[in-house]
């Protein structure tokens, strides 16, 4: 797989039958990762308007349109979990690792960026951390701090990394269960038992669900295991989609979108907190994620022809997909800067916030990669790709700044070097690698 900035996506996502339109390929995985990553950033950009609709309930407003868009992005995190289980299982099938080597590689790859970015984010909580009773109750304070770091997260998007860390811990012990439909059905039943709207029906009987922290694997395991199951049973999507026409899949998707928004409104009417209203742990989200994946699988041949094979869109796979992990960790910092600069709530502000945060997050990723090309260890800790060099000529909009293409620059240097070699009569080979990296 090309340098993946989301290390928990496993290895190469590929099909055993490349001719089949219903199976995931490497390009499919990268494209889905790009769509999900940008959608997550958009969802965080518009959350202000979602909160406004939750309070005002004005249907003829930008806030309600933002709420609909927010619900449409509910596929993002479950898709990340699905791709994680799918890609990691394919990698295990192709080249299983000894248990010790697996834990050392996987846990370090996810834990190192998490700890560094938590340190970067800690300044937002410095008053709380410094005022904790370290001297009076060092043991209790340490437990509270560790819970804050490894369970709550120093920033709201870190919960995903926290859950993936838990998934990595249990994966070698449970991944072989993915061969069985029985276990898939059992985990689906457990998942639904703890998801909304179960708590609403239990309240009618004076009962309630056990109180668990929302950032534990229990609430996200189904999506991870669905990816494992898909890797072991590579025809399950093909069988389902063969029976369903394009129109039926489209109607199913539209129906799940309507269901998502209807459920959101009903939760508001029932005076639930926004956190309990707008989360991923809902039956409707499970249906919507299935519908969204089916839509993609039906359209993937068209996407392959129009996007994968089109040179115009290759930057998605060379300059966007490899940086999605870094952008996921860093975009909230960019969002806060944009919030400080754009404090109004007009449509102009709505559009600019999305554009500036998405573009600014990737610009930050590209400049960080460029500045740290000689520091692979630091790139690793920041969640940047392993590939050190960045081709600025393929960055969207680079032509406006008349950037020289590295290939042209390399050719000119090679020509000059050959001429110098001929003049001096030296038999040494010209080393262009250091010149190219410094250019």
CB 248 within 8 A of CB 291: no
Q: What is the pLDDT of residue 92?
A: 86
Torsion, CA 185, CA 189, CA 192, CA 198, rounded to 10? 160
Tokens of 418: 């050959």
Q: Do 372 and 384 meet the contact criterion of CB atoms below 8 Å apart? A: yes
Q: How far is CA 150 from CA 104, 121, 156, 165, in A?
A: 18, 14, 12, 10
Question: From the centroid of its chain, how far is CA 430?
Answer: 42
Of 165-174, 246-255, 256-265, 343-352, the least confident: 343-352
For residue 409, pLDDT over 60 is answered with no
Weakest-pLDDT range from 38-52, 93-107, 150-164, 317-331: 93-107
Residue 24: both structure tokens together:
């995931």
Average pLDDT over residues 133-143: 94
Q: What is the mean pLDDT of residues 273-287?
A: 82
Peptide bond into 264 cis (omega under 30): no
Whole-number Cα distances in Å, 57 to 51, 127, 266, 269, 410 = 10, 35, 12, 10, 59
When the pLDDT of each residue in the chain is averaged and rounded to a whole number, the result is 84
- Cα gap 290→277, rounded to integer Å: 20
Instruction: Please determine, for residue 348, whether its predicted confidence score (pLDDT) is greater than 60.
Output: yes
* pLDDT of 278: 67
Is residue 388 within 8 Å of residue 79, measured between CB atoms? no
Q: Reduce the DSSP state of residue 369 to 3 states and report it.
A: helix
The residues, any chain, with a CB within 8 Å of residue 393's CB and separated by 6 or more, are: 403, 404, 405, 406
Specify the DSSP class assigned to residue 394. G
* Confidence band for 398, pLDDT divided at 50, 70 and 90: low
pLDDT of 20 reads 44
> Which of 213, 223, 76, 71 minimizes the C-alpha distance to 153?
213
Mean pLDDT check: name the lowest of 103-112, 152-161, 386-395: 386-395
* pLDDT above 60 (res 13): no
The answer to whether residues 214 and 281 touch, using CB atoms and an 8 Å cutoff, is: yes
Supply the pLDDT for residue 401: 58
Q: Which of 31-45, 124-138, 396-410 is the least confident region?
A: 396-410
Structure tokens at 194: 């703890």
168-181 pLDDT, tens digit per residue, is 999 999 999 999 99
With CA atoms as reference, report the closest residue to 22 among 317, 294, 251: 294
Q: Sorting pLDDT into bands at 50, 70 and 90, what band is 411?
A: very low
Average pLDDT over residues 196-217: 87
Q: What is the pTM of this model?
A: 0.83
- Total number of residues shown for the chain: 439
CA distances in angstroms from 184 to 80, 175, 189, 220, 229, listed in the order given: 18, 11, 9, 14, 7
For residue 314, count other CB atoms closer than 10 A to its CB: 13
Does residue 332 carry a pLDDT above 90?
Answer: yes
The pLDDT score that the predictor gives to residue 44 is 94
Report the candidate in 420, 232, 313, 220 with the shortest Cα–Cα distance to residue 30.
313
**Helix, strand, or coil (residue 412):** helix
For residue 268, what pLDDT is reported? 87
**pLDDT-based confidence at residue 200 (cuts at 50, 70, 90):** confident
- Is residue 357 within 8 A of residue 145, CB to CB? The reply is no
Count Cα atoms within 13 angstroms, Cβ side, for 137: 8
* Confidence category of residue 147, pLDDT binned at 50, 70, 90: very high
Residue matched to tokens 């020509």: 415
Give residue 350's pLDDT.
Answer: 87
Instruction: For residue 96, name the pLDDT band (cuts at 50, 70, 90).
Output: confident
Other beta carbons less than 10 A from residue 406's beta carbon = 16
Q: pLDDT band at 326, cuts 50/70/90?
A: very high
What is the DSSP secondary structure assignment for residue 314, as one 8-state letter? Answer: T
Q: Report the distance separating Cα 385 and Cα 383, nearest Å.
A: 7
pLDDT of residue 80: 94
Quote the CA–CA distance of 207 and 339 in Å, as a whole number: 42
Check pLDDT > 60 for residue 416.
Answer: no
pLDDT at residue 52 greater than cutoff 80: yes
Identify the residue whose tokens are 């995985």: 29
């Amino acid at each position: 797989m090309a340098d993946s900035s989301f290390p928990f996506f496993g290895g190469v996502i590929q099909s055993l039958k490349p001719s089949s339109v219903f199976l995931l390929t490497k390009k499919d995985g990268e494209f889905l990762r790009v769509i999900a990553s940008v959608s997550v950033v958009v969802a965080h950009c518009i959350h202000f308007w979602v909160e406004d609709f939750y309070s005002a309930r004005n249907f003829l407003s930008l806030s309600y349109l933002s709420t609909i868009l927010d619900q449409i992005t509910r596929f993002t995190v479950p898709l990340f979990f699905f791709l994680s289980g799918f890609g990691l299982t394919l990698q295990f099938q192709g080249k299983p690792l000894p248990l010790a080597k697996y834990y050392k590689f996987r846990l370090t790859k996810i834990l190192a960026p998490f700890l560094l970015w938590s340190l970067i984010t800690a300044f937002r909580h410095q008053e709380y951390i410094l005022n904790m009773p370290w001297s009076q109750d060092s043991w209790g304070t340490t437990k509270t701090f560790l819970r804050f770091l490894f369970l709550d997260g120093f920033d709201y998007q870190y919960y995903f990394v926290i859950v993936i860390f838990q998934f990595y811990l249990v994966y070698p012990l449970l991944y072989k269960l993915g061969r069985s439909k029985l276990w898939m059905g059992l985990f689906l039943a457990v998942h639904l038992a703890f998801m909304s709207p179960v708590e609403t029906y239990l309240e009618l009987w004076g009962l309630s669900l056990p109180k668990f922290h929302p950032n534990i694997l229990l609430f996200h395991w189904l999506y991870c295991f669905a990816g494992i199951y898909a890797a072991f049973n590579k025809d399950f999507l093909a069988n389902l989609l063969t029976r369903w026409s394009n129109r039926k899949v489209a109607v199913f998707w539209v129906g799940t979108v309507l269901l998502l928004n209807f459920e959101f409104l009903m939760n508001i009417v029932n005076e639930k907190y926004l956190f309990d209203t707008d989360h991923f742990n809902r039956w409707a989200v499970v249906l919507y994620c299935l519908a969204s994946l089916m839509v993609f699988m039906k359209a993937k041949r068209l996407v392959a022809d129009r996007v994968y094979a089109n040179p115009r869109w290759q930057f998605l796979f060379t300059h966007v997909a490899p940086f999605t992990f870094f952008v996921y960790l860093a975009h909230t910092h960019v969002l806060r800067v944009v919030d400080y600069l754009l404090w109004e709530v007009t449509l102009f502000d709505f559009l600019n916030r999305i554009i500036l945060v998405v573009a600014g997050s990737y610009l930050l990723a590209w400049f960080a990669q460029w500045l740290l090309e000689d520091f692979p260890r630091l790139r690793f800790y920041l969640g940047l790709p392993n590939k050190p060099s960045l081709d600025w000529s393929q960055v969207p909009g680079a032509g406006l700044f008349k950037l020289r293409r590295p290939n042209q620059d390399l050719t000119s240097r090679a020509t000059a070097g050959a001429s110098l070699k001929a003049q001096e009569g030296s038999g040494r080979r010209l080393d262009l690698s250091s010149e190219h990296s410094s250019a």
